[in-house]
Structure 1
Amino acid sequence: MKPKIQAFVFDVYGTLFDVHSIKTACDDQFPGKGEQISEIWRTKQLDYFFTRHIMGRYADFSVVTREALRYALSATGVTWTPETEDALIAKYTELSPYDEVAGVLNELHAKRTVVLSNGTDAMLTALIHNAGFTDLFEELVSVDGVKQAKPSPAAYMHWFKNSGLERDEVLFLSSNGWDIAGAKNFGFHTAWINRDGKPLDMPDLTPDAVYEDLSGILEWVTDEAAWP
């Protein structure tokens, strides 16, 4: 029997939205290079964010996203203008949600739903608005408010400290294995959205559930978990 969950807390990038949907915009600007640019962009985005965090040189997710794009463009040998760079950055607020996301979020309409993301407030607000999901979340929470990146415990605490909940009343959902490990370490229940069939990152921090997409999380919904 599943525990009574009072809040469904979602990661955004790779969980609700396909970060590699940006490859279409990249390919429009640089034909034949879109997929390569997208892959490098995402890899360096995470590398820069975590490396800065470890070094104590925090920069918000919008800054590292732009830094990572510049690296990706340089690495693929293309020439670009500031206008092209700005256009691609703008497209990061128009990422495509995965097919099942809207339906799952609508099924959770009576539940407490929260975004907890490494993205900035402005990035999250624009992305969720552009997808038409604004009314489907109670809160959009950025770790930029505490300047501690997930999977740092302080990042999860940033939302949790004012939630009024116990840790075992929270189900945290992410497609990123490192994020699942961080949330599990913090004490949340976790559901790993393993879209690509990847191996488990940290066997000592096993997720409570693993699903191919978000649809599986609906088995955690109970009438008793409704948010007043």
Structure 2
Amino acid sequence: MSLPAPLDRADAVVFDAYGTLLDVHSAVQRHAAAIGPQAQALSETWRQKQLEYSWVLSLCGRYAPFWTLTERALDFALAKHPDVDRDLRSGLLEAYRSLDAYAEVPATLDALRRAGLGTAILSNGDTAMLDAAVNAAGLEGRLDAVLSVDPAGTFKTAPRAYDLAPARFGVARERIVFLSSNRWDIAGAAAYGFAPVWVNRTGQPDEYPDLAPVRVIRSLDGLLV
């Protein structure tokens, strides 16, 4: 199978999980009718704070499991949107443990494995939440590894978080293609030395011009083209 760049120079393909393979907004979407007109705003606040908390802790030299940050971020989002029924909290958290995978994910992972490439997740998510999410999405047999940053004790974009992927596969970082829908994560991967591919699902403007991706695609369908 002839592979397009940068896959033609890769030994492994590593994916961010949340927002890249898994739709982080699907948890709120399942409860949208009960939430009402603030559903989208609630979901966006939840995601924004979840990420913000990871960055602040990393800069402070501190760490907490990503599930703890997910709970704290939801509590903030519910406080910011007080018209949303707080009794939905437990249901929203349970839904976050079993987020929907994007439709093209299974076929893309299968194609990469047929091409002889290693496949893995490298995520800020802690081990328990990643295992639950991967199993719920039916991806467990399609990945060689599911890597949480837990052993590194810090979140991406810290280099020692990215260190987990080349250590797992035993290859140079330059031989790993890294995909994320988060532009900040792509910047971190570029600085680290991966071959980063930005999955720009929502057509966001580019940023971090000195830390550019090697490719930009709208969905994982574009990776093998």
TM-score, normalised to structure 2's length? 0.91
Equivalent residues in 2 for 1:85-124, closer than 5 Å: 85-110=89-114, 111-124=117-130
C-alpha contact 1:113 1:138 (8 A) present in aligned 2? yes
Q: Which runs of 4+ in 1 moved over 3 A?
A: none
Instruction: Establish whether residue 68 from structure 1 lines up as the match of residue 77 from structure 2.
Output: no
**Which residue number corresponds to residue 154 of structure 2?**
148
Out of 114, 135, 138, the position equivalent to 2:141 is 135
Q: Which one-letter code corresponds to 2:160 in the other structure? A: A
Which consecutive residues of structure 2, in runs of 5 or more, have no partner in the other structure? none
**2-structure distance, mates of 1:64, 1:25:** 21
**SS class of match (2:25):** helix
Q: Which amino acid aligns with 1:11?
A: D
| Post-superposition offset of 1:67 | 0.1
The match for 1:215 is 221
Q: Which runs of 5+ in 1 are unaligned?
A: 220-228
RMSD: 1.5
The answer as to 2:25 corresponding to 1:9 is no
The equivalent residue for 2:208 is 202
Comparing 21-30 with 36-45, which one deviates more in the overlay? 21-30
The size of the alignment, in residue pairs, is 217
| Matching residue's letter, 2:97 | T
SS in 2 for 1:116: strand
| Counterpart in the other structure of 2:199 | 193
Matching residue within 159, 172, 175 for 1:169: 175
Change (3 A) 1:102 1:162: closer
